[in-house]
Homo-oligomer: A and B are copies of this chain.
Amino acid sequence: METVEERLRGLGLALPPLMDPPGGRPTLRLARRSGNLLYLSGNGPLRDGQIAYRGKVGRDLTVEEGYAAARLTGLNLLAVIKDALGDLERVAGFVKSLGFINSAPGFTQQPAVLNGFADLILDLYGEERGLHARSAVGMAELPWDAAVEIETIVEIADGA
């Protein structure tokens, strides 16, 4: 059976390197385990250490660009999961995600944007492990003017 990493490569994708947080003492963990749940910090559409999608969806960015931003955010979240668990196969399933979409006035298609994340997870993990509860909401502002910020909770496989 194909592994999640093989599927990732099959889609022409690669996990981005984890960014070192800016200098000074740390202020967060990118992921924090409690029991068999792994809570991930809000992440964004980072590529080569830069925010690749900035601005408000519905004005500065199209829905399609927002979707791409959510998909790229998913890769960054997967890189955090791999770093925390050592192996993407140790994910028993995605439990819950919350998608914050930087939204222009009148923009109301936040779920279509968050689908960029949800579809990636579904492609990689399949319905049983990949389909999860979620909310998508429209934000006034986001850090560094990122187009999206997504946080998620994943369940770690027993014995892992």
Chain A residues within 8 Å of B, Cβ to Cβ? 25-32, 34-37, 39-42, 93-96, 98, 100, 103, 105-111, 115, 118-119, 122, 127, 131-145, 149, 151, 153, 155
Would you call B149 and A135 a contact (CB within 8 A)? Answer: yes
Chain B residues, Cβ within 8 Å of A94: 32
CA gap between A5 and B140 in the complex, in Å:
37
User: What's the minimum C-beta distance from A60 to chain B, rounded to whole angstroms?
Assistant: 13
User: What's the minimum C-beta distance from A43 to chain B, rounded to whole angstroms?
Assistant: 9
Would you call B140 and A105 a contact (CB within 8 A)? Answer: yes
Instruction: Say how many copies of this protein the assembly contains.
Output: 3
Chain B residues, Cβ within 8 Å of A140: 103, 105, 138-140
CA gap between A119 and B27 in the complex, in Å:
7
Known: A34-B155, A37-B34. Is A29-B141 also a contact (CB below 8 A)?
A: no
Which of these, B35, B95, B110, B119, contacts A143 with CB under 8 Å? B110
User: What's the minimum C-beta distance from A7 to chain B, rounded to whole angstroms?
Assistant: 16
Known: A138-B140, A144-B108. Is A30-B133 also a contact (CB below 8 A)?
A: yes
CA gap between A35 and B94 in the complex, in Å:
13
Would you call B133 and A32 a contact (CB within 8 A)? Answer: yes
Chain B residues, Cβ within 8 Å of A110: 141-143
Name which residue of chain B comes closest to A110, CB basis.
B143
